[in-house]
Homo-oligomer: A and B are copies of this chain.
Amino acid sequence: MSVEGYESRIIDGKALARQIEDEVKSELEALESGRGITPGLATILVGDDPASRMYVRIKHRACERVGIRAEDHILPAETSQEELISLIDSLNKNRDVHAILLQLPLPKHLSPQEAMEAIAPEKDADGFHPYNMGKLMIGDEGLVPCTPHGIIRALEEYNVPVKGKNVVVVGHSNVVGKPMAAMFLNRNATISVCHVFTDDLKRYTLGADILVVAAGVKHLIKADMIKEEAVIFDVGITQEKDGVYGDVDFENVIKKASLITPVPGGVGPVTVAMLMKHVLKCAEKNF
């Protein structure tokens, strides 16, 4: 269970996140001193799911670190769709709120899609609004989802070429898999998207120069499923009593990969840092 000797292959998500946060900090200071604007993020949490609470807390802490003003809106689990939309409407109109983040998942009786669409596209820090998704799809990237954006940033940081490469994305969620594939396609990679209905996952993953796994299945990807020298991003998080696990069998896969993100400390922190970048972008554009 040791990765001794392979440390140089680990993509250090925490270090990259710090670097991105430092960029945000200095741009933010320029925005404050130059135009007197302090970026503001409003988070909305419906209900008291402990994991969701934790994610919101992590985002608020990041806001504090970079100097973003953060509002914490917590609604009871029994909130109606109308009440949720009405809060979103008021935040859309609030000029001190430049970006809105609706923490998912919502309680079952609420429609996340309708709520997401109610967020003004220019305040859509998560990039989940259909308008922003469509812009991404046609290659005019504005506000894009944070996790895929962070992965693209990491590839740039580690000088991994994308154009013409064979990229495989495992998982076809709206949050990660689909926007990730679109971003690679915009950069002229050849992409494949696999998921729970894929009949021969290994045939695909074996061909991947770059592999992004967002399936939420502990250790789905084993060493015999990847190509030598592959670059691997592990978006999965499975919480068990004895720790947190990714979708990739890290200890064995690292011996074959050229670069790989750990779980935790890989994609997670970078995602949060990209969110800060998006809030800043919303504030810069909105006035």
Contacts and interface: CB of A to CB of B under 8 A. Distances in A.
A137 B188 contact: no
Tell me if A's interface is mostly helix, strand, loop or mixed: mixed
Interface residues of A, number: 38
Complex copy number for this chain: 2
Given A164-B197, A197-B190, A137 B140 contact: no
Interface of A: 113, 128-140, 163-164, 166, 172, 174, 178-179, 181-182, 185, 188-195, 197-199, 203-204, 207
A141 to B, nearest CB: 11
Nearest to A194: B190
A189 B68 CA distance: 42
A203 B207 contact: yes
B139 A130 contact: no
A136 B178 CA distance: 11
7 contacts: A131-B134, A133-B137, A136-B137, A137-B137, A163-B197, A190-B193, A190-B195
